Amino acid sequence: MMRAMRPVIVAANWKMNTTPADAGELAATIAGRIREPGVVRIICPPFVCLAAVGAALAGEEIAVGAQDVHHELAGAYTGDTSAAMLEGLATWVIVGHSERRRDHAETDERISGKLRRAVEAGIRPILCVGEQLDEREAGRAETVVDGQLRGALAGHAPADLQAAGLVIAYEPVWAIGTGRNARGADAAAMAETIRSAIAATGWGGAAANVPVLYGGSVTAANIGEFLAEPSIDGALVGGASLKPDEIAGIVARAGLTANARLAETAAP
């Protein structure tokens, strides 16, 4: 029953792709292909494309998300974007993506600050965690992810994060653009580790309600393997989300999972 209570979510992370001139058209095309009301659908374009995508999605039940947010309210942070700047432009935000950790040396403490700003602003966060290849090969994958979660959630009241609708995206960094693939069983095992770590930070049984997405080179061809796992609740999609056929296939498969969960809930 706990599993059926969790929503099925597909978040499209466009990364550093599209421009204000073409993002709206792409968003409109995708919107026409992913009308699956049982699936929570989010498009996260670059900051400069948020307004264009928002306008293109007017009237659609598809949310707009930002790819990052700054850990301070305002100040001398050239090139950064605060939570207040996202008002009216985004209702979701990705926090702690592996590429931000890698390219901008984001620490768990810094990510915790970003999470705090998102929650304070009423922007629903997708917190990313995941291990590197050497960490997995050393048998430390669960330890690394557990530590990332505890670091990011430190100092946050569980009730605040529950009210904010915290979502976790598990990104096995070694499976992103490397040609190596994670298996559904890998993701499912890590989802259980994630919920156990969250429970240990004071959530208790409420951790079972936290949606966990898979985010490692997701495609229409492999999404079924991950959504077949009861502990996985959707996907954070990168490159495939820029291709209308691919993202349509992913959302369609997510719709099957959402409908199955709804039927399970309604069953006597």
Question: Residue 255 is encoded by which pair of tokens?
Answer: 């719709």
Helices 184-198 and 141-153, interaxial angle, to 10°?
A: 40
Nearest to 159 by CA among 194, 117, 204: 204
In a domain, 52, yes or no: yes
- What is the pLDDT tens value at each position of the chain, 268 positions in all? 334 479 999 999 999 999 999 999 999 999 999 999 999 999 999 999 999 999 999 999 999 999 999 999 999 999 999 999 999 999 999 999 999 999 999 999 999 999 999 999 999 999 999 999 999 999 999 999 999 999 999 999 999 999 999 999 999 998 877 777 789 999 999 999 999 999 999 999 999 999 999 998 899 999 999 999 999 999 999 999 999 999 999 999 999 999 999 988 877 7
Q: Find the CATH number of the domain harbouring 65.
A: 3.20.20.70
Q: What amino acid positions are annotated as catalytic residues?
A: 97, 171
What pLDDT is attached to residue 181? Answer: 76
**Alpha-carbon gap, residue 165 to 65, rounded angstroms:** 14
**Alpha-carbon gap, residue 120 to 230, rounded angstroms:** 31
What pLDDT is attached to residue 58? Answer: 97
Q: How far is CA 258 from CA 9, 37, 169, 181, 264, in A?
A: 9, 9, 18, 24, 10
In a domain, 267, yes or no: no
Number of domains within the chain: 1
In a domain, 77, yes or no: yes
In a domain, 268, yes or no: no
What pLDDT is attached to residue 2? Answer: 39
Tell me the residue range of the domain where 167 lies.
Answer: 2-262
